[in-house]
Amino acid sequence: MQKNDMAVIEITDIGVGGEGIGKIDGYTLFVKDAVIGDRAEVKVIKAKKNYGYARLMRVLEPSPYRVEPRCRFARQCGGCQIQEMSYGRQLAFKEQKVRNSLERIGGFSPELLDRITEPAVGMEEPFGYRNKAQFPFGTDKEGHPVTGFYAGRTHDIIANTDCALGVQVNQEILEIILEFMEKHHIASYDERTGTGLIRHVLIRYGFATGEIMVCFVINGTSIPNAGELIKSLTAVPGMTAITVSVNTRRTNVIMGESFEVLWGQGYITDYIGKIRYQISPLSFYQVNPVQTEKLYSLALEYADLKGGETVWDLYCGIGTISLFLAQKAGQVYGVEIVPQAIEDARRNARLNGIENAEFFVGKAEEVLPAYYERYEEEHGGEQARADVIVVDPPRKGCDEALLDTIVKMQPEKVVYVSCDCATLARDLKILCGNGYTLKRVRPVDQFPMTVHVETVALLTRDVV
């Protein structure tokens, strides 16, 4: 196949990025927006020796799994990759994605995975689930301010204030801001020139409390006529915090390093289960609270705490999992590299009257090994132990030094919460090669309409 060739293919598989996969005369084509089961006309846009990429031109016979996207920008926007796929098929795709990684990268047998893999945890309503959204601002061809989301693999803004994954109040807030900018001729930031004031607007919403936070990320020191803007925004029911974060750097990093309160307080509160959290503009907090409660409840179920255990929660963020575990554990130690997150974690512990959770700032791969060595020195060669270790690392997975220390500490259980099933499989292979057995695996659909999937895995220490 050559670039610009046209072909008619059957979509028989799905790639890890949600793209449809089909073949013509043995040549594999990856087709964005195609759904398994489609018969489609495609145009080759990039051709390599054994495979290529094609654009979906026309669906000749739609798949039984194809549905009408709720958002009219679904194909253009980079936020959703599989909105054209029925939700049941999305869950099946994510289950298979996790299994494929565990088989190919982890080396786990299909027979074992048949026994221990549980069905993906889905949502009853897989839209309107995001409690946080960051909207970039730009300027259209007529010179008017616009906001929305970036088109796939670009920084071109698709003007849309009504994202199907966000909460409904976002649209009202964004329309107020755009009207204000138009009235006072306040310019959006221009990445090419570094000029313009409004870069992004962050909106957080408390699902349990109804509290709303708006944070303006600006390329300057202040917003002209801010009092008028604040007056308009405070008329929105639930408005609790209006803040500003200054970011004058030429960077793709969204937030500045700090924030200032313009009105109200510097945080909103929300609940996951019975645990209350204070969330600032800079806090890491899971964006899907409905699924987060299911995710953490599953981690707690896998840990199977009886009340006296010592638990380490590595990559603990603002203490979300730690405080969940502290309800059932004897003592919980949380580790997180971001100092602000640890301050949030300590404050959230106090907020909930939890006294059996202690938090440390630092890299998990440095803090835990240092603790292990220090404990051995201070206790005459006695080894530090943990009953349960929970890890919830970033996409890159766990550092080898951390995995080595986990093995040395010999916890009875390791609960691994993963946002990347490839690095999960790699790390589970290491742990299972050093005295642990994989007992349970369950995908959790934290991000419906996208290809991302969270996974919870339970490992137990082999009895010698």
Q: Annotated active-site positions, please?
A: 419
Q: How many angstroms separate the CA atoms of 320 and 323, rounded?
A: 6
In this structure, what token pair is assigned to residue 32?
Answer: 């964005």
Q: How many angstroms separate the CA atoms of 411 and 128, rounded?
A: 39
- Residue among 204, 200, 196 at smallest CA distance from 224: 196
In this structure, what token pair is assigned to residue 173?
Answer: 């807030």
Q: How many angstroms separate the CA atoms of 99 and 96, rounded?
A: 5
Q: How many angstroms separate the CA atoms of 337 and 362, rounded?
A: 4
Q: What are phi and psi of 300, to 5 degrees?
A: -65, -40
- In the numeric block, the tokens 């550092």 are attached to 399
Amino acid at 399: D
H/E run at residue 182: helix 169-184
Q: Check: CB of residue 242 under 8 Å from CB of residue 233.
A: yes
Label residues 91-124 b or e (16+ Cβ within 10 Å = b). Answer: bbbbbebbbebbeebbebeeeebeebbeebbbbe
- Residue among 352, 397, 205, 393 at smallest CA distance from 287: 205
Torsion of CA 357, 373, 424, 390, to 10 degrees: -20
Q: How many angstroms separate the CA atoms of 140 and 124, rounded?
A: 37
Q: Check: CB of residue 127 under 8 Å from CB of residue 446.
A: no
Q: How many angstroms separate the CA atoms of 155 and 133, rounded?
A: 16
Longest CA pairwise span in the chain (Å): 74
Q: Check: CB of residue 158 under 8 Å from CB of residue 73.
A: yes
- Residue among 89, 87, 113 at smallest CA distance from 100: 113
